[in-house]
């Protein structure tokens, strides 16, 4: 008892007695080998109107033993795709859980693929799960599949471990649009009422099946209203200032051969103006290119030639953008360009009045496109290669 | 005096800074964004005026009664019985608000990380740690926060810097698109968080000599204001219009971080910020309540009542609200007015009473 007389030691004893109580139960203990890591999710609509959730789950047997041949035989594919059907995503998820021996975990989910049948009935109602349920992250990339989403997830790619990683990397390269769950939530809540999602396709060839990001699906007021192809998507990326990698190939006037340029950087500004009640949008694009290939006999060091090429490049960009405007602004009447936000930001008062009539105003907006391309460098060579000095063409 | 410890001005600042920032950092963007929209980053600036005012009032009262805390001089000013009643009111407010703080903490941890763990366990373990800190006295609290607050700030900066590539500066426009009103309306709740700086009146008496309490109070308020503006800007530039649709926007922002595909899943950092911040916040409120009660009852030592009050705090936190929805509703509608009474109106009335009495007695003397 003498030990306990010291006050400090008394406290210590009490603490030591209390701690084991908390050790006996760890409510939220979750071991990695009890989890089924979901890396990709696909949403489809069944004929009965239910949601079919496909989950690409990392195959634990194939993990870790990649080097040894023994494991790769018994382990099989690095990921498996399981599906479940239910009224909501979570309902489908619980059906899916019945088939999986480990607890489903969406914390590492990288992509969400939305199938066509589901997208036609709207996407807003289904995206809530990804912003409410604790596990998923808002960083996951969202794609539109012009067929069944589960087909996309089932592809076993050559380079990467799973199709989810392929899709994410493709989005990161900005071949098409890059839309994360957060971006999608913002688009859905935005004033324009229009949403655009990158389209993902299965590319069948002799060497097997590969994924491809190609084109864009356009939604208006939560309805799928159309799809645009790759060329138009590039135009859309120019307008939304998302273009990062681009190659432009031109055929100079009076030449048989081509010149290729590589885009270094580009920035787009949307400048809205309201004059006498007339709404106008000016799209200003400044970009820099390098020459990377010259098939012609033109001298790439000649400033005059470069001037002409710049003009031609400008024309090309304007044409691209005009194409997408014709198709999406006038055809689909969907504001996926962010015009609504641009007007709201610059003219908050006028916007407040015209807000409700945006759907009628938008197709009528006059758009001016200004492009300023600067060709920076001729590349590693100056004049054309393989041509004697005196045979070089001047203009 | 029952508290024998002395703290420096910097230590006082370091105790008060997380006391306001901890709760605000997590839910402020959601609450201000609801009404202020893209002007939400202005709201903390308007709200900070109340912080400065609160510090000023507490300091003026302190200069009349340099050795006493709020509960002691309220007795001297208002008389024994009314003074004790005011003291009881303030004590109730401190306990209730701290119960809500504890509950906020528990709801966050349970809602985001430990879903299966009983709420009582999360809350009780936090209360226990805070009780140990309070029992250690003011100096112990000050020194532990000297260790925690730099970590708190560092981790917060970590999140801010990592998010910079994902921010979209365009979200800020139109600045003052609908005039000043939305941002001022958005300042309503943060105003009362800033008014929590009235807790400075429990710390000022224990400031070492030659320490400028007013200066440090003002510095603290300014730092808090800057931090909250950064917090709101961060959420606004990342999420734009949808900020207020999240329960904990900064939490989702932290989860959004992904640098070069490997630096991701850093929500544990956000959790660490919140837990360290809440630890200090709850301890400071807890300390004020304990020392207040000891002074109200004229006890010779405050240590014996630390654990009983801790139990009370746990119960209050469970009674505070049946669910997160009601807790948030209460703390963004009723609480600001209720807090205004104890944090601002009572100190102002006390100060006015002192000033008029001093004037009155002077004229009598002359």
How far is the alpha carbon of A140 from chain B, nearest alpha carbon, in Å?
9
What residues of chain B lie within 8 A of the CB of A21, using their CB?
Answer: none
Put simply, whether B114 touches A (Cβ < 8 Å) is: yes
How far is the alpha carbon of A183 from chain B, nearest alpha carbon, in Å?
8
Cross-chain Cβ contact A185/B238 below 8 Å: no
How far is the alpha carbon of A4 from chain B, nearest alpha carbon, in Å?
18
Residues of A engaging B, defined by a Cβ cutoff of 8 Å:
22, 27-28, 107, 131, 134, 137-139, 182, 185-186, 189-190, 341, 344-346, 348-349, 352
Put simply, whether B108 touches A (Cβ < 8 Å) is: no
Cross-chain Cβ contact B173/A134 below 8 Å: no
Q: Which of A22, A27, A186 is facing B240, going by the closest CB pair?
A: A186
Per-residue pLDDT, B222: 93
Tokens standing for residue B40: 């939400």
Reported as a pLDDT band with limits 50, 70 and 90, residue B181 is confident
Q: Which of A27, A182, A345 is facing B173, going by the closest CB pair?
A: A345
Q: What is the mean pLDDT of residues B16-39?
A: 86
Q: What is the pLDDT along chain A (395 residues), one digit of tens a residue?
A: 455 567 788 888 888 887 776 665 567 777 777 888 888 899 898 888 888 889 888 887 766 544 444 444 445 778 888 888 888 889 989 988 888 888 888 888 888 999 888 888 888 888 888 888 888 888 888 999 888 888 888 888 777 778 888 888 888 877 788 888 888 888 888 888 888 888 888 887 777 777 888 888 888 888 888 888 888 888 888 888 888 777 888 888 777 888 888 888 888 888 888 888 888 888 898 988 888 888 888 878 888 888 888 888 888 888 888 888 888 888 888 888 888 888 888 888 888 888 888 888 888 888 888 888 888 888 888 777 777 777 766 65
How far is the alpha carbon of B116 from chain A, nearest alpha carbon, in Å?
5
Put simply, whether B240 touches A (Cβ < 8 Å) is: yes
Query: Average model confidence (pLDDT) for chain B?
Result: 86
Helix B267-296, helix B306-319: angle, nearest 10: 120
The Cα–Cα gap between A229 and A215 comes to 4
Residue B226 has pLDDT above 90, yes or no: yes
Give φ, ψ of B173 to 5 degrees: -80, 155
Nearest C-alpha in A relative to B238 = A182
Cross-chain Cβ contact A348/B125 below 8 Å: no
Per-residue pLDDT, B287: 92
Nearest C-alpha in A relative to B135 = A11
The enclosing H or E element of B259 equals: strand B258-259
Domain boundaries, chain B: 9-359
Cross-chain Cβ contact B170/A341 below 8 Å: yes
Q: What sign does the CA torsion over B55, B61, B64, B70 have? A: negative
Q: What is the mean pLDDT of residues B23-48?
A: 86
The conformational region for residue B306 under phi > 0 = left, psi -120 to 50 = alpha, else beta, is alpha
Reported as a pLDDT band with limits 50, 70 and 90, residue B282 is very high
Q: Which of B112, B170, B255 is facing A345, going by the closest CB pair?
A: B170
Cross-chain Cβ contact A28/B117 below 8 Å: yes
Per-residue pLDDT, A243: 80
Q: Which of A107, A182, A190 is facing B256, going by the closest CB pair?
A: A182
Residue B363 has pLDDT above 70, yes or no: no
**pLDDT: is A6 or B73 the higher one?**
B73
Put simply, whether B260 touches A (Cβ < 8 Å) is: no
Q: Which of B170, B174, B242 is facing A185, going by the closest CB pair?
A: B242
Chain A / chain B CB contacts < 8 angstroms: 56
Per-residue pLDDT, A74: 45
Reported as a pLDDT band with limits 50, 70 and 90, residue B285 is very high
How far is the alpha carbon of B349 from chain A, nearest alpha carbon, in Å?
43
Order the strands of the A278-294 sheet from edge to edge: A247-250, A259-275, A278-294, A366-377
Lowest mean pLDDT among B122-126, B311-315, B327-331: B327-331
Write down the ipTM of this complex.
Answer: 0.79
Cross-chain Cβ contact A138/B170 below 8 Å: no
Tokens standing for residue B283: 């301890």
Q: What is the mean pLDDT of residues B4-9?
A: 84
Best of B36, B37, B116, B182 to substitute, by most chain A Cβ atoms within 10 angstroms, is: B116
How far is the alpha carbon of B354 from chain A, nearest alpha carbon, in Å?
44
Per-residue pLDDT, B224: 92
What residues of chain A lie within 8 A of the CB of B39, using their CB?
Answer: none
CATH number for the domain formed by residue range(s) B9-359 = 1.20.1740.10
- Number of Cβ atoms within 10 Å of the Cβ of A7: 8
Nearest C-alpha in A relative to B247 = A132
How far is the alpha carbon of A345 from chain B, nearest alpha carbon, in Å?
4
Residue A235 burial (C-beta neighbours within 10 Å; 0-12, 13-18, 19+) = buried
The Cα–Cα gap between B219 and B216 comes to 5
User: Whole-model pTM?
Assistant: 0.83
Per-residue pLDDT, A73: 46
Yes or no: say if B204 and B62 are a contact pair by the CB < 8 Å rule.
Answer: yes
How far is the alpha carbon of B221 from chain A, nearest alpha carbon, in Å?
32
Q: What angle do CA B157, A135, B103 make, to 5 degrees?
A: 70
Nearest C-alpha in A relative to B115 = A28
Helix B70-78, helix B80-112: angle, nearest 10: 150
Cross-chain Cβ contact A131/B246 below 8 Å: yes
Q: Within chain B, what is the greatest distance between any pair of CA atoms?
A: 78
Q: Which of A190, A346, A352 is facing B241, going by the closest CB pair?
A: A190
């Amino acid at each position: 008892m003498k030990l306990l007389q010291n006050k400090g030691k008394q406290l210590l004893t009490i603490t030591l007695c209390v701690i084991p109580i908390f050790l006996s139960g760890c409510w939220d203990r979750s071991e990695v080998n009890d989890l089924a890591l979901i890396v990709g999710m696909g949403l489809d609509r069944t004929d009965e109107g239910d949601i079919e959730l496909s989950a690409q789950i990392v195959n634990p047997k194939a993990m870790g033993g990649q080097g040894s041949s023994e494991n790769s035989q018994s382990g099989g594919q690095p990921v498996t795709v399981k599906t479940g059907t239910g009224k909501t995503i979570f309902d489908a998820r619980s059906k899916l859980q019945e088939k999986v021996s480990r607890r489903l975990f969406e914390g590492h989910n990288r992509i969400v693929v939305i199938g066509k049948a589901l997208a036609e009935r709207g996407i807003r109602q289904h995206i809530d799960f990804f912003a409410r349920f604790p596990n998923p992250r808002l960083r996951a990339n969202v794609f539109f599949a012009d067929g069944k989403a589960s087909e996309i997830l089932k592809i076993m790619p050559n380079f990467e471990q799973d199709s989810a990683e392929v899709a994410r990397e493709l989005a990161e390269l900005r071949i098409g649009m890059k839309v994360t769950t957060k971006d999608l939530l913002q688009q859905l809540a935005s004033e324009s009422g229009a949403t655009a999602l990158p389209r993902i396709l299965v590319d069948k060839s002799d060497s097997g099946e590969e994924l491809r990001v190609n084109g864009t699906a356009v939604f208006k007021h939560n309805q799928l209203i159309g799809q645009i192809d790759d060329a138009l998507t590039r135009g859309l990326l120019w307008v939304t200032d998302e273009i990062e990698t681009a190659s432009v190939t031109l055929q100079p006037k009076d030449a048989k051969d081509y010149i290729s340029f590589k885009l270094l950087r580009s920035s787009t500004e949307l400048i809205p103006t309201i004059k006498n009640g007339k709404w106008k949008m000016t799209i200003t694009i400044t970009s820099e290119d390098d020459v990377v290939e010259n098939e012609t006999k033109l001298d790439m060091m000649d400033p005059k030639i470069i001037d002409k090429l710049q003009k031609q490049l400008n024309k090309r960009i304007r044409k691209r953008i005009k194409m997408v405007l014709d198709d999406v602004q006038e055809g689909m009447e969907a504001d996926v360009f962010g015009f609504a936000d641009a007007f709201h930001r610059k003219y908050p008062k006028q916007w407040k009045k015209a807000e409700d009539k945006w759907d009628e105003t938008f197709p009528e907006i006059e758009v001016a496109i200004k492009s300023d391309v600067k060709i920076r460098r001729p590349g590693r060579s100056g004049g054309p290669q393989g041509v004697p000095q005196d045979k070089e063409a001047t203009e | 005096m029952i508290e024998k410890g002395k703290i420096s001005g910097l230590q006082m600042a370091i105790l008060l800074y997380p006391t306001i920032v901890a709760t605000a950092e997590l839910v402020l963007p959601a609450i201000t964004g609801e009404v202020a929209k893209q002007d939400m980053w202005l709201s903390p600036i308007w709200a900070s005026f109340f912080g400065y005012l609160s510090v000023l009032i507490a300091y003026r009262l302190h200069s009349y009664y340099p050795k006493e805390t709020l509960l002691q001089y309220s007795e001297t000013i208002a008389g024994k019985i009314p003074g004790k009643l005011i003291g009881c009111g303030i004590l109730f407010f401190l306990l209730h608000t701290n119960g809500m703080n504890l509950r906020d903490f528990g709801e966050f941890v349970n809602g985001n990380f430990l879903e299966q763990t009983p709420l009582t366990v999360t809350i009780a373990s936090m209360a226990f740690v805070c009780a140990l800190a309070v029992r250690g006295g003011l100096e112990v609290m000050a020194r532990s926060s000297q260790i925690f607050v730099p970590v708190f700030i560092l981790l917060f900066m970590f999140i801010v810097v990592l998010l910079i590539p994902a921010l979209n500066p365009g979200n800020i426009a139109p600045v003052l698109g609908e005039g000043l009103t939305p941002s001022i309306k958005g300042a309503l709740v943060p105003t009362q968080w800033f008014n929590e700086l009235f807790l400075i009146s429990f710390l000022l008496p224990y400031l070492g000599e030659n320490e400028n309490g007013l200066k440090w109070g003002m510095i603290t308020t300014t730092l808090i204001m800057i931090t909250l503006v950064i917090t709101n800007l961060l959420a606004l530039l990342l999420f734009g219009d949808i900020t207020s649709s999240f329960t904990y926007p900064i939490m989702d922002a932290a989860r959004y971080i992904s640098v070069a595909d490997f630096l991701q899943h850093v929500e544990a950092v956000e959790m660490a910020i919140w837990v360290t911040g809440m630890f200090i916040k709850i301890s400071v409120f807890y300390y004020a309540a304990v020392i207040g009660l000891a002074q109200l009852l004229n006890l010779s030592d405050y240590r014996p009542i630390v654990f009983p009050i801790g139990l009370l705090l746990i119960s209050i936190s469970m009674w505070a609200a049946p669910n997160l929805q009601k807790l948030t509703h209460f703390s963004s509608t009723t609480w600001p007015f209720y807090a205004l009474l104890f944090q601002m109106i009572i100190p102002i009335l006390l100060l006015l009473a002192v000033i008029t009495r001093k004037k009155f007695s002077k004229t009598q003397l002359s």
